[in-house]
Amino acid sequence: MELFVYSADWCRDCREAKRFLNQHSIPYTEINIEKTPGAAEQVIANTGKRAIPQFVLNGKWIQPYKPGQGFLHHEMEELFGVVRS
């Protein structure tokens, strides 16, 4: 599994997404859109908007949150096969 997380330091939903991944020991590579040249443009080119966080799982772009609702815990648990204890 190859997972990239497009994020920024100021983004609350990004911090929640990374907290989820770390909590469940899901390995990922973070791409900070403010520190990585061209990263923000990649997000826009692939999603049509400048919205973060974005996951790229095995080449597929996934928005792990909904505006106004926050991080989609249940959907991401299902996607990554997380078993609740």
Residue 20, domain CATH: 3.40.30.10
Per the DSSP assignment, residues forming a β-bridge with 4 are 29, 56
Q: Which two tokens stand for residue 14?
A: 């990004």
Is residue 84 one of the residues assigned to a domain?
no
Q: Does residue 53 have a cis peptide bond before it, meaning omega lies within 30 degrees of 0? A: yes
pLDDT of amino acid 85 = 61
Give this prediction's pTM.
0.93
Average pLDDT on 75-80 reads: 96
Percentage, residues of the chain above pLDDT 90: 89
pLDDT of amino acid 83 = 80
Supply the range of the domain harboring residue 26: 3-79
Is 17 within 8 Å of 26 (Cβ atoms)? Answer: no
Domain count, the chain: 1
Is residue 23 one of the residues assigned to a domain?
yes
Return contacts of 38-47, CB within 8 angstroms, 24+ apart.
39/6, 42/6, 43/6
Average pLDDT on 39-47 reads: 97
Is residue 39 one of the residues assigned to a domain?
yes
